[in-house]
Structure 1
Amino acid sequence: MANHYVRPDWVNIIGLRGITENEVYTCFASNKRLLAELPEEVKTQLRKTEYNTPFDDLTTISGNLEMGDAPNHPILGGATEYDIRYFERRTVGISEQARKAINILNKTLHRIKFPIHVLPGVFIGSANNECIHNKEIRLISNPSELKHRWLMKTVNVKNLEQHAKHIIPGRKRIIAG
């Protein structure tokens, strides 16, 4: 949720169905480690408002809000010095320098990420704004079983009151968009 007006503080995932033969991983990269690995000139570029992340499908098709176009934003900077607003393959650079910085960011992310094979009973709790996470498919040995893979994912905030203006009227904990 690189550009959503409500960014979760935590993302929790539990594996409900899956098999070991299908290697589908959830990977994590620490924001602090990522920043330590990036060259200073790349971090300077990533702090510029030269990036765009289109609104996600759930936000745009919910019908709760008229979203318009997503605003351009920096990838680095925000609530903390290690805040990263990035969604691989969705966030794009709007200048050549921005695209080059994304390329270095991606290479670094993939080098430092930590994979977890989420099988039934595996629970992962992550501080969403302190890491970047993704899904990585390494091997599919049983395609028919992949259709039955099931993870339950929740996104949670520390303080719901700070997001009160985005809650759907009459619903206690449902964000519009």
Structure 2
Amino acid sequence: MSSALIDRYDFVFTPDEVEQYKKLLLDVGGNPYFGYEDYKAAIATAAELVPSRFRDFCHESVLRDFSEHPFVVIGNAPIDDDLPVFDPTDPVADKYRKKKTFVAEGFLSTYAVLTGTEIIAHLTVNDGDFFHDIYPKRSMHESQSQKTLGTLRFHRDFTNHFVCPDFVNTLTLRDTPENEVYSTFAITKHVLRTMSDADLEILSQSRFHTPFDDVSRASTRLTLGEAKDHPIILDGQGGVKVFEGRTAALDDEAARSLDRFLQALHANKQLRISVPGDSVTFSNHHVIHGREVQQIRDPESLSRRWLLKTHNVFSLGNFEEYFLDDRPGVVNG
């Protein structure tokens, strides 16, 4: 197993910087859940006033080779002082009622501006919210989604969706120090280097199928139809498409190659425990990720664990044909 990521940070805010940043975000007007376009415009102005050391870091970080260095880990990022506990029956609706400040949303928004990316939304996830929660929902505790209470197996977000984001950005708001809950990652380019040429050839062919994810399938807003068959390997730079336990091979030979690929993912697995204020961004094309719930000492604490999340793309213009007519940036699917 590779070494854990827990001790590595690419950037850590000083106490003065985080207080300056938090004050800036508290002064941003608007509501990111009701009136997103106005909020986005206010954020664009605020991004110019973010602490200069972080602005410089963001400009430099986007120059890296994402296939070899797909992670950015930030510590002591600004989050809200008031973090309410939500009704597990419908935590999203309860968030709308209870969350009165939007510091966490503001951080993820300004970070997008400073890295030259744009936040994208899907109608099938929280009716098209641009910010959504890794937070347990009672009816989906056993699902393979961000709303599960348990382990979430290795996957790419929107594995086989027709609009797949380029980046996943997460910000930890409330953790579970009493429990052992690990974020898991495998850098796909490193994994593929361990595979045989024969397996690489098979994994590059459209001999696999992944149904749409649990959150999208649970939506009552629209019917997505059937996902298309696909290869596991998408390009020569480590781009892959897989969801462990959901992706199936269409023939026995392909099944054996898929099994070996999944074994290689676990052999190259990295573990991380995040604390409040940790922001982890990674390339959705070059990292397969998940979550492992191991030792549980406080089930109630686990049910309140909360990370805020965005999906980002290089440009919304690449996906305009899929957007709702009246909601720019929201995919009709």
TM-based fold match above 0.5: yes
Aligned to 1:44: 201
**For 1:74, which of 227, 231, 237 is the aligned residue?**
231
- Work out whether 1:103 is the aligned partner of 2:253: no
Partner SS state of residue 172, structure 2: strand
Pair 1:169-2:325 in alignment: yes
In 2, are the aligned partners of 1:31 and 1:132 still within 8 Å (CA)?
yes
* Within-5 A mapping of 1:51-62: 51-62=208-219
Match in the other structure for 1:11: 168
Alignment of 1:22-171 (within 5 A): 22-78=179-235, 80-171=236-327
SS at match of 1:37: coil
SS of aligned partner of 2:300: helix
Provide closer, same or farther for how the CA distance between residues 143 and 61 of structure 1 changes in structure 2, counting only shifts above 3 A. closer
For residues 67-120 of structure 1, give each alpha carbon's deviation from its aligned partner in whole angstroms, at most 9, with x where no partner exists: 221111111124x54210111111111211121112111111011121111222
Higher normalized contact order (CA 8 Å, seq sep 6+, divided by chain length): 1
TM-score (norm 1): 0.92
Pair 1:166–1:9, CA change in 2 (3 A): same
Residues 27 and 115 in structure 1, CA contact (< 8 A), matched pair in contact too: yes
**Aligned residue-pair number:** 176
CA contact (8 A) 2:159 2:213 kept: no
CA-CA distance at 1:49 after TM superposition: 1.1
SS of residue matched to 1:49: coil
Following superposition, the deviation at residue 64 of structure 1 comes to 5.0
* CA distance in structure 2 between the aligned counterparts of 1:136 and 1:72, rounded to whole angstroms: 28
Question: Residues of 2 paired with 1:69 and 1:174: CA distance?
Answer: 21
Alignment identity in percent?
Answer: 33
Kindly indicate whether the alpha-carbon contact (under 8 Å) linking 1:9 and 1:156 is maintained by their aligned counterparts in 2: yes
Q: Which SS does the other structure have where 2:246 is aligned?
A: coil
Q: Counterparts of 2:331 and 2:279 in 1: how far apart (Å)?
A: 24
User: As a proportion of its length, which structure holds more strand?
Assistant: 1
Shift of 1:63: 4.6
DSSP-derived class of the 2:185 partner: strand
Aligned Cα root-mean-square deviation (Å) = 1.5
Q: Is the Cα–Cα contact under 8 Å of residues 11 and 155 in structure 1 kept in the other structure?
A: yes
Normalising by structure 2, we get a TM-score of 0.50
